[in-house]
Each structure stands twice: as structure tokens, then as C-alpha cells.
Amino acid sequence: MTTFGTQFCASFATARFEDDAWQAHRIEPLAPLSLHPAAHVFHYASTCFEGFKAYRWADGKARIFRLHDHVRRMQGSAESLRLPIPDADLLAAMVTELVAAEVEQIPAPPSSLYLRPTLIGTLENIGAAASPSTTALLYVLASPVGDYFSGGARPLKLLVDDQRARSTEQLGSTKTGGNYAAALGPTLDAKARYGVDQVLFCPGGDVQETGASNFLLISDNEIVTKPLDTSFLHGMTRASILTLAADLGYKVNERNFTVEELLEYAKTHEAALSGTAACLSPVGTLVYRGEEVPVRDGEAGKNTDRLRDALQDIQYGKAADTHRWLTTV
């Protein structure tokens, strides 16, 4: 399997917003896009996207994980950027029809088909800095991907940055490329200087998220994580893990906590990052003000493994989908 996100299926789904309405979607051969150099997306970053997976089970059918929740989140992102909001049924149909067309290309679990709906503003107007794009292109890419942890989940090292935020307060919960661009420089600098994998952004000492993942603290009976607000992404994996944790008897404690509290928690709790690509990744070391702080013994913890397995067992068809998260294609 090639590097995650670099292999694509032969077709993709497209739909355009023109004349104040969404036009009929199409499944067509994957090809480069033709866009005017003045397109709104190039100048004013009018773009958002989603990322989720479909799994092919032994019966030959695909199961898409939390399709309708991702559609709703994309609608929220589009609204915050004042882009034309995709019709929910339209976007769901684009995804399901694309998965149906490419079902034979989905590798068996733990591999999957990564799905990337993307919405971009196409208005040809470089004077529209204070105006929304009134035309748009919506498309869905499909990418066969392997197991993110082919050799097992390695404990990650995080730099704790108590000064900078990953995003802005009004756009943190919007899944837009600008948020990832904003985190890239600090993350690359931290990797070069401290040898870390990611930066845990904690502006003013408020523990928030890394460049692409939510952050959780986990003990034998409790999960501690920041409550949802507009300053950070409302991760679907985070939401799924918290739901399953409650099912398993963990106390879910969504509250704000500081870097000082985090360093105390590191003595007794496991730490993990949640996201679509890596599911639930263990954190073994924190770097704060030049000092390395181990998270417990620095190894992956049993609770992180237990919760990741609980989620993946549903996705792979090994456990019942009691929350009705899967859409069969």
C-alpha cells in the first residue's frame, strides 16, 4: 500500500452550485479540475472538506462510518464560510454512489476506503474579499488506504505550546484547509527543534487540540477532554470514543483543564489523540518548556487499546452497530 492519501480510485463524484441551485451530481472519471485563476478559493480560501472511511466486509458490501454525521458537519463548515450549503441528500448520494462504483477497490479491514468530500468557491472575482462565493464546486474523492499503524501504534511525543492556538475562535470548529496551514509551520518547527510528532496547542494554558487530532486523557474509569466550543474541531472519532467509553462504564468528564493540570494527569492517566486516520493514538511523552515529561510509563496504555478496539470492532463488523453509525452500500 502506498503512502496514506496518495492513491485514488478511477472515478469521483461532482456537483456544481450555479444559478442559486445545486445541479445534478455525476460520477465521472477522475481528472484534473479546470478553474479560472480568479476563482474565489484561490484568493480568499473559501474551502472546506470532510474525511471519513468505508470498510468492505466479508459479504462484499461496504459500510460507511457515520456518513450522515459527516454530512451535517460539512454543512456547518460551509455555513461558517458562507459557501453554498450542500444539500444533505445530494452529498450523501454522491458518497454512496461513488462507494458503490468503487466497492471492489476497497481493501479488506484493517484497510479501508478514505473518502474526502470537498467544497470550493468558484466565483471569478478577485475583488470579492468581503463577499461570499455565489458559485461552488462540490466533489468527492475516494482513496484506498492501509492500516495507519502497520507495525503497531507507537507512543507519540507532543510539544505542549501554552502560547499559540491552532486556529481562530470563530473557525476552529470549521474543517477548512486554513486551519491545517496555520498549524503546519509551528509543527514543523517543533519537529526540527524537539523531535516531536505533533504540537498540542494550549493558548493561554487552555489544553485544546493538535494540528489534526483531538486530545483525551484516559484512566481505568474516566476520560477527561475539553468540552466542545468553536475554538477546535468537533471530531467524529472523539464523539464515537466518548459514546463507547460511556457504554463501557467510563465516566466521561468534558471540562476545560490547564497545562498545569495536564502535567499532573500525566502521572496517572493515559493520553491519546483521536482522528479518522489513526483512530486513537497513544501519547507517551510531553515536552514542556524544554523538559520531557513521560505520560505514566511512556508506553501505550490498556485503556487506549481497549477503546480503539471497541471502535474498530464496529467498523470491521466484529461487534454490533448498536448506535446505527454504519451505512451499508
Query: Which CB contacts under 8 angstroms, 24+ apart, belong to 284-291?
Result: 284/155, 284/156, 284/157, 285/155, 285/156, 285/157, 285/158, 286/157, 286/158, 286/159, 286/160, 286/200, 286/262, 287/157, 287/158, 287/159, 287/160, 287/194, 287/196, 288/159, 288/160, 288/162, 288/259, 288/263
| Main-chain dihedrals φ then ψ at residue 71, nearest 5 degrees | -60, -45
Torsion sign (Cα): 11, 17, 18, 23 = positive
Torsion sign (Cα): 17, 22, 24, 25 = positive
Output the CA angle 316-4-212, nearest 5 degrees.
Answer: 90
Angle between helices 67-80 and 88-101 (to 10 degrees): 130
Q: 268: which strand partners? A: none
Kindly calculate the radius of gyration of the chain based on its CA atoms and give it in whole angstroms: 20
Q: How far apart are CA 258 and CA 94, in angstroms?
A: 42
Q: How far apart are CA 134 and CA 136, in angstroms?
A: 7
For residue 233, give Cα distances in angstroms to 169, 210, 239.
11, 10, 11
Residues classed as catalytic: 175
Do residues 107 and 48 lie in contact, with contact meaning Cβ atoms separated by under 8 Å?
A: no
